[in-house]
Structure 1
Amino acid sequence: MILDLGPLAFDEGAHLLVRRALRDLPPGAELAVTGADPALVVHLSAWCRTHGHRARPAEEHGVRAWVVRGRADLDRWSGAERAGGPHPDGIVPTASPRWGLAARGALVESGGPEAPFDLVDRDLVWADVAPALYRHAASAQWDPERTVDWDAEFALPDEIERAVVQVMTYLVENEQAALVVPARLLSRIHPQFREVMQLLAVQAADEARHVEVFSRRALLTGGELGTSSAGGRASLTTLLAETDFSMASFLLSVLGEGTFLTLLEFLEQHAPDPVTRRVTGLARRDEARHVAFGVAHLHHLGTLDPGLRPRLRAAVERRHETLLDTAGLNQDVFDALVVLAAGAWTPDAIARGWRAVQALQSAMDDGRQRRLVHLGFPADEAAELSRLHTRNFM
């Protein structure tokens, strides 16, 4: 076989043609190389030494050199393995730390450092709906600057505006916890399960956007932010302390964010101005995806692990015991919700607002129970666990 490089020099890419010509030759086979570059033989010899081949001078007319095919580049891939298949149906049950950051489905050369991912078992993070949820999440991203009319004209009584600000302050605090949890979890997931990583990355981006819009609404009229209770922060800190992926998903997404879906719907319904209505409505759509993944993941795992539900129950009870001596929901937040639902300061209006908040808490409880029953808990146990959920809502 003769390879004619023409005027192409090695510093112009000639090695690509040599490597391509050698690719299908067996070890020990020879390749005749010719070309017009004066330094061809020198550069070819140096390249061969680097890549495990051998070059020898040519005596035949028209041939500049012979290349003897070596084994080095073959040996380099002798221990290589595929990192699963490229599509979700090719995901392996347990990912190898040796694959590191290699693309799923890539041929991975042996050697190299092992990656520090500790979530390497598919069923511990997976849900079949994850790829579809990620595609939906990626297409549903919204720009706060363009999607919210921050210049909308409205004027609220001072007491109503203070109630909005207090609720927004509370939402920011909770959304910051909801940002940190998925961000910490996704860094532990093996890239073999990239759809889950991508979904959690978008979830973190959602929460970052919620923090922005709730903060911006709170400061829209130039006032100061509201209060942050010690009990509320203690409740959220328990979410940060949970290291188990499934337990964290359960406490945050299924119970916490599931409860927040009802709260955001309440706020959208009782919003006293168009900006508050818009930002709570947009956030609610995002949160619905977060809850959907958490429920789907735990439902998937529950079909495989009969010990899951006792562990979920233990997580709820453990958190309840930790927070037993805390005050629960910030009283300022509770009162602000009453004021927003009342819309006025007459006794009848306040009574109406109070009843609306009681109905809100009942609806939150109903939603938690439905999700718990969906995960396989008997109705009476679901009711008990819902009752033990933190009084801080999240």
Structure 2
Amino acid sequence: MTAPGAPVLRLGALGFDRGAHLLVRRTLDGLRPGEELAVAGGDPALAVHLRAWCRTNGHGMREAGPGEPDGVRARIVRGRADLDRRTGAVRAGGPGPGGVVAHPPPAWGLAARGALVEAGGPPGPFDLTDRDHVWADVAPALYARAAASQWDPARAVDWDAPFVLPDEVERAVVQVMTYLVENEQAALVVPARLLARVHPHFREVLQLLAVQAADEARHMEVFTRRALLRGGEMGTSSAGGRESLHTLLTEPDFSLAAFLLSVLGEGSFLSLLEFLEHHAPDPVTRRVTALARRDEARHVAFGVAHLHHRSTVDPALRGRLRAAVERRHDALQDTAGLNQDVFDSLVVLAAGEWTPEAIARGHDAVAGLRAAMDEGRQRRLVHLGFPADEAAELSALHTRNFM
């Protein structure tokens, strides 16, 4: 017998070969899982077709027995709400950040979060499929901020601003810009490599990494353009500097890569860019370093937030972070560290003039820059749960090449 109060769908002579499933599906849309729908109709094959359709779409079905009223041929029990009514596909979490699941199946592949994923598709080539290995709760807000803060190099910088610099000062600017381009290229490659490995279910992380890579591409453009603005040639790229950056490119672990690049490296670069903005000898240099610093602050914020999130669920993480710093230090201990040309150029920019007193001030300013970098690294390490003495020790092991 049909349950009292169960709705009855009357199909008349309409069969599944002529679209009856559209009416069945539409009626079931208004029911909750477990509720019943009685189906009446005159098509001879109705019960056969209805049974096959219900099996495919995750609903229960029973043919009518004796005593069913009003020509009812079958009774359907509405299936689970997270199953597709046509294919039985499972819904891939919820569309918003609150709908992120901890371990999205590889078979979800490129399906949008919240979509109904039909079975049988190819698994995605993503190995970062654990939420806690890539996530930070601030990722959606950081992405929204990043998207709203994008700037056009052609419009955001007055490339025609008038200025005249002594040749030695211009060469110092060019050398520093050359160094920045090299480091920004590494800072682009790292998130780009990670981006391709993250399960698309964590779309805010993908979006943030994509914007981060776009930021670095833009920084490469403006630093290169400033270096060549007065018709000079690019400066020196040191072997030690490239060796230091190479250790960032070869770190396979998402959290360790974020730690070495964003927390320690780009964190140190925040101080460097602030230094360059303050000591810039011309308006173009001042503008491009200020714009880049705003972008880099978001990169650092995500790295810190991600590591703080992961450390709350993985107490052993700090031990691995320490080991990563020590491993990188050991790999670089025989390299020369910061390019001497870069160091001297920073001194020249901070000095502002060619007198013994000014050069001494410039040298002291660069020493102050290094102290500011160290203080910033220690502060972020303490925020991640390291004791102050251990934070100081780890900060001291950071590469002499800054990044």
- Structures share a fold, TM > 0.5? yes
Tell me the secondary structure at the aligned position of residue 201 of structure 2.
helix
Match of 1:202 among 211, 214, 217: 211
Residue deviations 1:124-152, cap 9 Å, x none?
11111111001000000001011100111
CA deviation string 1:179-207 (max 9, x = no partner): 00001111111111111111111000000
Query: Where does residue 42 of structure 1 map in the other structure?
Result: none
Q: Which residue of 2 aligns with 1:86?
A: 95
Q: Letter of the aligned partner of 2:171 in structure 1?
A: R
TM-superposed deviation, 1:109: 1.2
Relative distance call for 1:73 and 1:170 in structure 2 (3 A) is: farther
User: Structure 1 residue aligned with 2:237, among 224, 228, 238?
Assistant: 228
How high is the TM-score relative to the length of structure 1?
A: 0.85
Residue of structure 2 in register with 1:325 after alignment = 334
Are 1:335 and 2:321 an aligned pair? Answer: no
Change (3 A) 1:145 1:67: farther
Structure 2 match to 1:62: none
SS at the partner of 1:267? helix
Q: Do the aligned partners of 2:136 and 2:305 also contact (CA within 8 Å) in 1?
A: yes
Following TM superposition, by how much is the alpha carbon of 1:114 offset from its aligned partner in structure 2, in angstroms?
Answer: 0.8
Measured after TM superposition, the shift of residue 238 of structure 1 is: 0.3
What is the CA–CA distance in structure 2 between the aligned matches of 1:75 and 1:148, rounded to whole Å? 63
Provide the rounded CA distance (Å) in 2 between the counterparts of 1:16 and 1:158.
Answer: 83
Residue correspondence of structure 1 range 181-192 to structure 2 within 5 A = 181-192=190-201
What percentage of aligned pairs have identical amino acids? 75
1:281: which partner in 2? 290
Identify the match of residue 136 of structure 1 among 145, 149, 165: 145
User: How many pairs does the alignment contain?
Assistant: 354
Tell me if 1:312 matches 2:337: no
C-alpha distance in structure 1 between counterparts of 2:112 and 2:316, whole Å = 33
Distance 1:231 1:70 in 2: 72
Does 1:258 pair with 2:267?
yes
Q: Paired residue for 1:389, among 354, 377, 398?
A: 398
Deviations 1:331-372, CA, capped at 9 Å, x for gaps: 000000000001111111111100000000011000000000
Distance 2:53 2:289 in 1: 59
CA contact (8 A) 1:22 1:69 kept: no
Q: 2:305 corresponds to which letter in structure 1?
A: A
Matched, 1:114 2:123: yes
**Which residue identity does 2:143 align to in structure 1?**
Y
Deviation at 1:76, TM superposition (A): 3.8
Q: Hey, what does 1:269 align to over in structure 2?
A: 278
Offset of 1:84 from its aligned partner? Answer: 1.1
Could you list the runs of 5+ residues in structure 2 that have no partner in the other structure? 1-9, 29-36, 59-87
Contact 1:28 1:70 in 2 (8 A): no
C-alpha distance in 2, partners of 1:292/1:325? Answer: 32
Letter in 1 for 2:311: G
Q: CA deviation at 1:75?
A: 3.9
- Counterparts of 1:1-394 in structure 2, within 5 Å, are 1=10, 19-23=21-25, 24=27, 30=41, 69-78=49-58, 79-394=88-403
Do the aligned partners of 1:22 and 1:31 also contact (CA within 8 Å) in 2?
Answer: no
Moved more, 183-192 or 258-267: 183-192
Contact kept, 8 Å, 2:11 with 2:41, in 1: the verdict is no
Write the distance in 2 (CA, Å) between the matches of 1:239 and 1:183: 13
User: Counterparts of 1:71 and 1:324 in 2: how far apart (Å)?
Assistant: 72
RMSD: 2.2
Letter in 1 for 2:149: A
CA distance in 1, matches of 2:115, 2:291: 39
Deviation at 1:91, TM superposition (A): 1.1
Change (3 A) 1:175 1:304: same
- Residue 283 of structure 2 aligns with an amino acid whose one-letter code is P
Tell me how far apart the structure 2 counterparts of residues 158 and 96 of structure 1 sit (CA, whole Å): 60
Answer whether contact 1:338 1:356 (CA < 8 A) is retained: yes
Task: Give 1:28 shift.
Answer: 8.5
| Contact 2:337–2:401 under 8 Å retained in 1 | yes
Identify if the C-alpha distance between structure 1 residues 166 and 105 changes in structure 2 by more than 3 Å, giving closer, same or farther: same
Structure 1 residue 81: deviation in Å? 1.2
Instruction: Kindly indicate whether the alpha-carbon contact (under 8 Å) linking 1:328 and 1:390 is maintained by their aligned counterparts in 2.
Output: yes
So what's the TM-score if we normalise by structure 2? 0.83
- CA-to-partner distance for each residue in 1:33-77, whole Å, 9 max, x for gaps? xxxxxxxxxxxxxxxxxxxxx98xxxxxxxxxx997445554444
Counterpart Cα distance in 1 of 2:110 and 2:56: 19
SS of 1:255's equivalent? helix
